[in-house]
Amino acid sequence: PHQVSLRRSGSHICGGSLYKANVVVTAAHCVQGTSASVLTVVAGTSSRTSGGTSIKVSQVKVHPSYSSSKINNDVAVLILASSFSLSSSIQLIALASSAPAVGSAVEVTGWGATKEGGASASTLQVVSVNVVSNADCAKAYGSSAITTAMLCAGVDAGGKDACQGDSGG
């Protein structure tokens, strides 16, 4: 219920999480260089294309140390023009008090592709993956690709992961 759809000129571009009734957290790469005037947030629906409640974005705040080349500090805050009315279908994300432990299960949600190179999902998807140490992640992706501002997660056997279109959620 905290998952929202971020839309540019009406089309889904990324996910986000409802932090406060008028504040969304998303990925910086989803909104960097984009005017708030073309962005809306839709909450309260599992459909990528219909339903829910839509509110315009009034401000985009990208992390001041965001690096598009390293994809580091890839976080942005969206201030909405008004507040969502919280309900059973529109809820705030529950924030953890600390980082999840290596090996613990976490959920990834989004409307991204369900296979590499595939089309975006029409219905919100959820998958459980395990937190991986940054050291192990660096072995897979290269030591310069992983920073302390990142969380790495996946499944050893593969086949379950976030994919294109899941960013921001």
Residues acting as catalytic residues:
29, 74, 167
Q: What is the DSSP string of the chain?
A: --EEEEEETTEEEEEEEEEETTEEEE-HHHHTT--GGGEEEEES-SBSSS-SEEEEEEEEEE-TT-BTTTTBT--EEEEESSPPPP-SSS-PPPPPSSPPPTT-EEEEEES-BSSTT-PBPSB-EEEEEEEE-HHHHHHHH-TTT--TT--EEE-TT-S----TT-TT-
- Those residues whose C-beta lies under 8 Å from the C-beta of residue 62, and which sit 6 or more positions away, are 28, 31, 32, 76
